[in-house]
Structure 1
């Protein structure tokens, strides 16, 4: 085999490097996979397009970037030592602290030496004869791996807006998902922001403080609620450390994979006065308390509209200009059907004289010009334009390179009508290929770190089962895959998530198949399905024994199957 080397000499033969596990991505899922499979004694190699670990938190350095889950929840649970050694400073950590935590974990566990950074995987091709994956990178390296782990994450392929003329803008163009590593100054500048999802909201409330003028181009307003962030005292963190085990167990057995309060109370089971008081209490508490105040907000449209109207009322109370307030009030889709947003001063920002809302429903963008943004009513001249227009979510990362399974089948071909898999973990026709936080699991609807840990542990248990049985390949049956997708579809029809045009359903990408392919049954139920798939002897999978005289990778000390899949 002749391949291009790292030094660009295409005539130097580069023999493939033989490994047990190739891991694509070094976010939370990829980091845990590197640790887990290394500790099992497997020969591993990780690949990451970014310059370091962290996934979305490596790239997202825009002003105001902050997690919308409690910090103590948005952290690894597999290492009691790390839990005891790390101290969070805020209830909702900002990006710099999150990245410090991620780097701390990578240093503490010595993960970086197993990962190639600034490296993109360009293809992964299955050899049926040799029962392995050939993985190629953009640096010319070739690897042959028994297993491939796609830890590419649900949000990793940024998407520019489909607006003519973007390349013509002569001011500074910034993308939230690929923010510069050096500080960006806004003082005295005319700044535009396109996009008002969770990222845009975080940017607006920060840039509005400093920009000479800020123009917010809003197509679809988002519901956002006060975060009510607070500092965490040493005394509180000491309590958390003493009780981490119970906190983690509670999170694993919750629908959201976290410690956010949840209720079994149906909206109409309490009186109007009590409902109003409960909503007021949730608004004052902050965070996503409101989403957990009633159990039927995503299934009962009338209950959902009552809560939506409550939040619209709060917008009217905060925003002084009645026209702007009305434009900021979301209508036409259920509250929480788009990603729930949290803020510290978003609506208050529109009371600043230097901040202007451009309502694209009434004054749509025509084009980007050399000087700024032209809407139907005229041109807004800008010094800087910030794109906060989201991602090709859930499927984009795995469709961004060539993944070829048995008989030349590609993931692009398999997913041409929408993502499909078994448990969001494996696909029929793609032996020994695993996904973490795949598009048919709970992915964007639960704590991604709890999902990642569950998925990696499940994959590890499957590998150990294969080692015990002397098996070389695993993949789900077509019947099991179809059965899972039927369940995903049935559950989705009960959810109000279908009622909004979001990246959850692929509506933000032109020509992308539309539909809700996420498992909406909750994280705890998802864990039950994963455990059952292993505990019944993997009857929903087909296996092959080695076709060549080669050893099956040794996966280390065997653990009881029920312990291995407990997540």
Structure 2
């Protein structure tokens, strides 16, 4: 990564608000708080803006939300002055878009890059956070807004012996900016989630040999990614008002929604809906066919078998089908993250690609020559690409030493139980706001720009309402947090997601308390509940004033 520490914008010593992270939510939060007139600054460990689109530079990284909905909707001109080249653009184009947003809003002057927050400590007397960085900064700040990302704490140290490997080993979320020369090399990819799939289908034609280690087979949907010409651009830009009025209120924050009930249709009609949504080449089958797939096991199985048959027809090879297609006893379609793919299954039909099942013969360790399985088999490779996931939702904030009231630390609290209030604050941590955190739709089940815009707008409103009330400290009450957790659990436990082992409930991280990380009641419903909380005067929170006045 490019080192820009010598040119870094200095961190102010005192602030009204500090925003951690300059991805989708951090940039918009910085803009809003600055518009409020607060003395606000943002910082990021990266050398530039982008968040997930800065760090995830692996081959094939791209949207699986349609580009024209993965956008900010607070400014029509900002929306319309950017033009996408295709339906699902790649990382480089997305990063350019984020630079466009940053520069259009003149945000760089209030951002410090190449700076990692190491600790944040709350002082009850002053009502201020003291924030320390790896560059030696110490900042006193009234409101700490953590926009650190839901998938930004990669699980890099997954196997014994990684440091012994003679070749090169990289995690997809820390893929080097300059890329890797994979031409003619023997490459291993560990992991076949959404990221692994994008890598595998992209690099297979250039490597000498590709060995893919498959533990959990994935349901996949084929992506249709047409290029956009003037007609397509005019079509989506002409829908700005429509998208702005509908997207925030759908179940998943996409433009489409669940519109028909399974029980109201005949078997032939149901099948036609599945065919039509599958043929759309998007996530529509998952997010807008039948909502009953998340609750009813019989419906789940019928839809799952529909997808399995589509996959089997493409693979044909019984051995590959056994390794790559989920079985009826595995899990239901949609209860894991559903990846979009482009000829991913066909990649395994290439002579230079081998799928190795590690479900019953797991990876034991990384050895100097390559990857060693439990039965002693060693696969010799030159490069290992690890697409092994993240400590989702809670991971990024848990890696900062955050100390609230009475010496409570956020990492320790979340080691005991994953709890928040509205997915945006935590009892015992006053004036600490979060986006993409556990128990909100943005933790997993949402078009991210939809949910992150909503959360930052709520946080901004909360800070404004707090200051307008003559107070400067807000904190969830214990009873308020209990009520939100109970509502979240009641909603989540009614779904099949809660009965499925995946990163959606923390099952991919040893020792992590199990709880469905994402609010499953729907994006529109969540928005309504958050708005009601504000309109009723924040009954799940307590506001108070400290002896020391705010800095502005």
**Residue 75 of structure 2 is aligned to residue 76 of structure 1:** no
**Residue 324 of structure 2 is aligned to residue 328 of structure 1:** yes
Contact kept? 1:90, 1:230, Cα under 8 Å: yes
Q: Identify which range, 144-153 or 507-516, moves more after superposition.
A: 507-516
**Residue 262 of structure 2 is aligned to residue 262 of structure 1:** no
2:527 corresponding residue in structure 1: 527
**Residue 272 of structure 2 is aligned to residue 272 of structure 1:** no
2:363 corresponding residue in structure 1: 365
With over 3 angstroms needed to count, the CA separation of the structure-2 counterparts of 1:142 and 1:512, relative to structure 1, is same
State the shift of 1:305 in Å.
0.9
Give 1:374's match in structure 2, choosing from 372, 375, 389: 372
Q: Deviations over 1:235-277 (max 9, x none)?
A: 2212322220211211011111121x22232334322222222
2:541 corresponding residue in structure 1: 541
2:497 corresponding residue in structure 1: 497
**Residue 144 of structure 2 is aligned to residue 148 of structure 1:** yes
Q: Identify which range, 235-244 or 261-270, moves more after superposition.
A: 261-270
2:280 corresponding residue in structure 1: 285
With over 3 angstroms needed to count, the CA separation of the structure-2 counterparts of 1:15 and 1:284, relative to structure 1, is closer
2:437 corresponding residue in structure 1: 438
| Cα distance in 1 for residues equivalent to 2:130 and 2:264 | 57
1:561 corresponding residue in structure 2: none
State the shift of 1:461 in Å.
1.3
What is the TM-score with the length of structure 1 in the denominator?
0.92
| Cα distance in 1 for residues equivalent to 2:349 and 2:411 | 47
Give 1:45's match in structure 2, choosing from 41, 44, 64: 41
**Residue 179 of structure 2 is aligned to residue 180 of structure 1:** no
| Cα distance in 1 for residues equivalent to 2:172 and 2:415 | 28
1:516 corresponding residue in structure 2: 516
| Cα distance in 2 for residues equivalent to 1:269 and 1:194 | 43
| Cα distance in 1 for residues equivalent to 2:260 and 2:163 | 51
| Cα distance in 2 for residues equivalent to 1:509 and 1:399 | 13
1:224 corresponding residue in structure 2: 220
| Cα distance in 2 for residues equivalent to 1:467 and 1:276 | 55
| Cα distance in 2 for residues equivalent to 1:166 and 1:267 | 49
Contact kept? 1:157, 1:397, Cα under 8 Å: yes
2:468 corresponding residue in structure 1: 468
SS in 1 for 2:418: coil
SS in 2 for 1:65: coil
Q: Deviations over 1:63-101 (max 9, x none)?
A: 110111000111111222211210011111111111010
State the shift of 1:466 in Å.
2.0
State the shift of 1:553 in Å.
5.3
| Cα distance in 2 for residues equivalent to 1:88 and 1:68 | 14
Gaps of 5+ in 2: none
Gaps of 5+ in 1: 1-5, 8-13, 555-567
SS in 2 for 1:542: strand
1:97 corresponding residue in structure 2: 93
SS in 2 for 1:77: coil
Contact kept? 1:20, 1:44, Cα under 8 Å: yes
| Cα distance in 2 for residues equivalent to 1:283 and 1:462 | 41
2:19 corresponding residue in structure 1: 23
State the shift of 1:377 in Å.
5.7
Give 1:204's match in structure 2, choosing from 195, 200, 206: 200
State the shift of 1:320 in Å.
3.5
| Cα distance in 2 for residues equivalent to 1:306 and 1:482 | 37
Mapping for residues 377-456 of structure 1, pairs under 5 Å: 378-443=377-442, 444-456=444-456
| Cα distance in 1 for residues equivalent to 2:523 and 2:119 | 31
| Cα distance in 2 for residues equivalent to 1:227 and 1:249 | 26
1:348 corresponding residue in structure 2: 346
Give 2:335's match in structure 1, choosing from 334, 337, 342: 337
SS in 2 for 1:164: coil
Q: Deviations over 1:189-227 (max 9, x none)?
A: 111100000000000101111111110000001111001
State the shift of 1:40 in Å.
1.1
Q: Deviations over 1:412-457 (max 9, x none)?
A: 2322222211111112221111111221111210122121111111
| Cα distance in 2 for residues equivalent to 1:461 and 1:263 | 30
SS in 1 for 2:505: coil
| Cα distance in 1 for residues equivalent to 2:376 and 2:317 | 21
1:565 corresponding residue in structure 2: none
Contact kept? 1:262, 1:294, Cα under 8 Å: no
1:507 corresponding residue in structure 2: 507
SS in 1 for 2:501: coil
State the shift of 1:517 in Å.
3.7
| Cα distance in 2 for residues equivalent to 1:363 and 1:420 | 35
SS in 1 for 2:331: coil
1:107 corresponding residue in structure 2: 103
Q: Deviations over 1:119-152 (max 9, x none)?
A: 1111111111111110110100000011000111
| Cα distance in 1 for residues equivalent to 2:136 and 2:47 | 18
What is the TM-score with the length of structure 2 in the denominator?
0.95
Give 2:112's match in structure 1, choosing from 95, 106, 116: 116
